[in-house]
């Protein structure tokens, strides 16, 4: 399914689940690991099991070079259609937010008015050809320049005028003739000829960014430090999830992280409510990041990915981070009934318990998701190389797939609590209880999957040299990857149909 996506594992979709983790090799899911020679980290798996690369996507990730190439193409296209210079076409496209259709319609509807609005024409009384009206000094005609209006100013004044505007910000893209009564645009050709190298680079940077920031079809990826943009063409199916080349998944419609099956309006309300509660009800860092051990009451900070916690010796009590239940007796803690258990930590008298239940579990899964994302980045940059020193590196790539799936499943769980929080009453208590049951089973399975991945990986990373049992670990994790993916596909379908009988 396209909503819970991971890096590709060939033939895994057609494999059969293992009934017993301790079965011999003949019960294994068979994978041809020679297929890893074609392993591509940026591919994802969709409902039919094929790579997104093989499918028609309704979005395109753009680099800065791609953006500049598209700008050049659009300028050349408009120049050919309207018989304009590239500088005039660029000014017209800037005015119409890089929409060729609107630029052409405006031009054909009223050419003089279109020119005037874009700064391509102006009327004036010609000044003395040798006098610069900025510095009021006489210059040779060859040392003076003018925009389309014909107002002459000396080249040094033009250089300073353009430079000051470029250093002032993106407003330089709408720069006009220095004459107070003139609205003629200062085009790309003049900037290229008269601006200093630094000011020219700055101007072209703003010019490139205008293609994204003034274009309804293109947005910057919201991930911190990312320089990619995404062009999106709505397909009419209401799906807005995109995956940037930096691996950040977000909703193109609202800019938040990918949040299906929750709609954008619900996300806005949820984020607003979280912010309000954090400010007005003092849901501070301590409430959601430290809890007392249920046995010795020593405060514990969660610093790993799964919910299985172990207190420091001599206590060594094992418990669930979410519900504080004893781990050996733990099954699931997703339902609201579990939140009312006597051992549950109270958040505060001013915070409604039913809200604390949903927000607490959402925050817990968000923290685990961020930790898993950090682990995945480390695996891709360093961890895989360390494993490759002890094992065949191609036999270790399944670990990346497992961690990518953990991240996406944590994301689904995080937003599933917002989904159930805003679930309409008309759905009925029975249906809601069923969805909470599925949610709880999914969370329990994910905990097992996440814990197995973390413990197994650390065991082999910390081992000296080759360690036996790696093949068994690989098979077990592949099995859990398959089972977890299938379960979350079903959970996703049920949540999307949550309002249906």
Q: Which residues are catalytic?
A: 306
HSE-up of 468 (CA within 13 Å, CB side)?
Answer: 0
CA distances from 117 to 176, 229, 332, 342, 450 (A): 12, 29, 64, 70, 59
Tokens of 310: 């172990």
Smallest CA-to-CA distance from 188 within 95, 112, 78, 85 is with 85
Residue found by looking up tokens 């925050």 in the block:
363
325 SS3 class: coil
Q: Is 176 exposed, middle or buried (0-12, 13-18, 19+ CB in 10 A)?
A: middle
DSSP string, 68-91: HHHHHHHHHHHHHHHT--HHHHHH
HSE-up of 157 (CA within 13 Å, CB side)?
Answer: 20
Residue 271 sits at the vertex; the CA angle it makes with 236 and 233, to the nearest 5 degrees, is 20
319 touches 294 (CB < 8 A): yes
Q: How far, rounded to the nearest angstrom, does the alpha carbon of residue 374 sit from its chain's CA centroid?
A: 15
Tokens of 444: 């329990």
265 touches 280 (CB < 8 A): no
Report the C-alpha gap between 460 and 466 in whole angstroms: 8
Residue found by looking up tokens 């790696």 in the block:
470
106 touches 114 (CB < 8 A): yes
Smallest CA-to-CA distance from 411 within 376, 362, 451, 374 is with 362
Q: 243: part of which helix (H) or strand (E)?
A: strand 241-243
Q: Is 369 exposed, middle or buried (0-12, 13-18, 19+ CB in 10 A)?
A: buried
Residue found by looking up tokens 């669930």 in the block:
320
Tokens of 318: 């094992």
Report the C-alpha gap between 325 and 121 in whole angstroms: 76
Report the C-alpha gap between 49 and 68 in whole angstroms: 35
Q: 242: part of which helix (H) or strand (E)?
A: strand 241-243
Residue found by looking up tokens 């399944």 in the block:
398
115 SS3 class: helix
């Amino acid at each position: 399914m396209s909503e819970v996506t991971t890096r590709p594992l060939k033939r895994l979709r057609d494999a059969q689940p293992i009934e017993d983790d301790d079965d011999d090799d003949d019960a294994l899911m068979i994978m041809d690991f020679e297929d890893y020679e074609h392993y591509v980290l940026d591919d994802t798996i969709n409902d039919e099991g094929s790579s997104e690369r093989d499918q028609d996507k309704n979005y395109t990730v753009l680099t800065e070079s791609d953006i500049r190439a598209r700008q050049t193409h659009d300028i050349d296209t408009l120049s050919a259609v309207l018989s304009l210079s590239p500088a005039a076409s660029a000014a017209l496209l800037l005015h119409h937010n890089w929409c060729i259709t609107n630029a052409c319609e405006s031009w054909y509807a009223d050419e003089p008015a279109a020119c005037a609005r874009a700064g391509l024409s102006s009327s004036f009384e010609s000044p003395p050809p040798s006098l610069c009206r900025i510095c009021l000094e006489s210059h040779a005609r060859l040392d003076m320049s003018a925009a389309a209006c014909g107002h002459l100013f000396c080249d040094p004044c033009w250089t300073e005028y353009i430079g000051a505007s470029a250093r002032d910000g993106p407003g330089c893209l709408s720069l006009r003739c220095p004459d107070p009564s003139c609205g003629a645009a200062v085009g790309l050709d003049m900037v290229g000829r008269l601006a200093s190298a630094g000011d020219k680079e700055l101007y072209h940077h703003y010019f490139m960014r205008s293609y994204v920031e003034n274009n309804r079809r293109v947005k910057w990826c919201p991930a911190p430090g990312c320089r990619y943009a995404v062009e999106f063409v709505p397909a009419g199916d209401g799906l807005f999830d995109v995956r940037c080349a930096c691996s950040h998944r977000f909703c193109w419609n609202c800019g938040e992280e990918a949040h299906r099956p929750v709609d954008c309006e619900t996300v806005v309300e949820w984020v607003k409510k979280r912010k309000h509660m954090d400010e007005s009800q003092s849901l501070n860092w301590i409430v959601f990041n430290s809890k007392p051990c249920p046995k010795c009451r020593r405060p514990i900070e969660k610093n790993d990915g799964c919910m299985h916690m172990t207190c420091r010796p001599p206590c060594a009590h094992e418990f669930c981070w979410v519900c504080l239940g004893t781990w050996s007796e733990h099954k699931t803690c997703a339902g609201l009934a579990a939140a009312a258990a006597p051992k549950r930590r109270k958040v505060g008298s001013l915070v409604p318990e039913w809200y604390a239940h949903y927000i607490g579990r959402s925050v817990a899964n968000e923290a685990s998701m961020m930790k898993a994302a950090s682990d995945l980045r480390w695996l891709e940059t360093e961890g895989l190389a360390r494993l490759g020193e002890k094992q065949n590196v191609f036999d270790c790539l399944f670990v990346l797939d497992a961690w990518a799936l953990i991240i996406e499943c944590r994301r689904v769980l995080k937003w599933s609590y917002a989904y159930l929080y805003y679930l309409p009453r008309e759905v009925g208590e029975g249906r809601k209880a069923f969805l909470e049951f599925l949610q709880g089973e999914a969370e329990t399975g994910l905990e097992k999957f996440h814990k197995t991945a973390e413990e197994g990986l650390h065991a082999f990373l910390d081992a000296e040299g080759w360690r036996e049992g790696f093949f068994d670990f690989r098979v077990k994790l592949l099995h859990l990857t398959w089972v977890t993916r299938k379960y979350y596909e079903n959970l996703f379908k049920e949540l999307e149909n949550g309002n249906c009988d």
